[in-house]
Amino acid sequence: MSDSKGRLLLVEDEPSIGETLQFNLESEGFEVDWKRDGLTAFDALVADANRYDAVILDLMLPHLNGFEILARIRPLAERLPILVLSARSLDSDKVKALELGADDYVTKPFSLNELLLRAHGIVRRGQWSRENLRTTQDSFTLGDAEFSPGSHSVMTAGNEKLKITPTEMLLAKTFANNPGRVLSRQELLETVWQYSSGTETRTVDVFVAKIRRYTDAQGAANSFIETVRGLGYLYNPTPGKAS
């Protein structure tokens, strides 16, 4: 369809939730490919992950769970935005999914309007990151790490070269472009995740922790990315000193 907002892979085994999401996402202008088990979804991604603009992924699935899909597919489709939608609400589950490469996490039960907003946001983020990182190939430094958008990699403070996701790269670039300025969680959500004002999520905190592991030497007394209580985060090129 020529006016499509994007093609989504919806992975959900509960018929009532899957039918509701497919209907409403298609009403929003998305093309939706709905898979009801993890193995079928994984096969579709292996066959051609590039045909999708984003994935909405349940965790508790038959045959292959969402954690396993994330672990297997992220190395093969590092630029594909993945939104986890799950009844698992423990912080440990959220952190695990985000560590495995998810871009955001929504718990069930959920607000349909909020999910639709996040679907639009994650597709925009994927499209924006592809355009932005295509034209921004130059490496940049953040803390003691060097980030290379062209290869989607980082040379960490510990001198380890790692592949990272577009979301991590965009977050690092946003901090690098704003030294000495406090960035609120909401501003980061709007800038990096392309989410609308008012979105509530702890995703930013988890991703900042990931960036710190790249930028800071092991055992460092102070982080280059400082937490400013009640306000957000600040990149200080000289940690431990007044910014």
Q: Which residues pair with 111 in a beta bridge?
A: none
pLDDT in tens, 116-161: 988 888 888 777 666 665 556 689 999 999 999 888 899 999 999 9
pLDDT of residue 132: 63
Whether 194 contacts 124, CB under 8 Å: yes
Find all residues with CB under 8 Å of 194, minimum gap 6, and list them: 121, 122, 124, 125, 128
Whether 80 contacts 52, CB under 8 Å: yes
Measured between alpha carbons, how far is 70 from 68 in angstroms, rounded to an integer?
5
pLDDT in tens, 71-125: 999 888 888 899 999 988 888 999 999 999 999 898 888 889 888 988 888 888 7
Query: Between β-strands 161-163 and 225-228, what pairing exists: parallel, antiparallel or unpaired?
Result: unpaired
pLDDT of residue 135: 59
Phi, psi of 10 (to 5 degrees): -100, 120
Predicted confidence band of residue 20 (pLDDT cuts 50, 70, 90): very high
Give the global pTM.
0.84
pLDDT in tens, 30-58: 999 999 999 999 999 999 998 999 999 99
Residue 2 has pLDDT above 60, yes or no: no
185 by DSSP, 3-state: which?
helix
Measured between alpha carbons, how far is 167 from 154 in angstroms, rounded to an integer?
13
pLDDT of residue 193: 86
Question: In this structure, which long-range contacts are made by residues 206-213, counting pairs with CB atoms below 8 Å and at least 24 apart in sequence?
Answer: 206/94, 206/95, 206/98, 206/99, 207/98, 207/167, 207/168, 207/171, 208/171, 208/233, 210/98, 210/99, 210/168, 211/142, 211/168, 211/171, 211/172, 211/175, 213/156
pLDDT in tens, 170-218: 999 999 999 999 999 999 998 888 877 666 678 899 999 999 999 999 8
Would you state the structure tokens that stand for residue 231, as one six-digit string? 């306000």
**Could you give all domains of the chain from N- to C-terminal order, each with its CATH number?**
6-131 (3.40.50.2300), 137-235 (1.10.10.10)
Positive or negative: CA dihedral 120, 123, 129, 132? negative
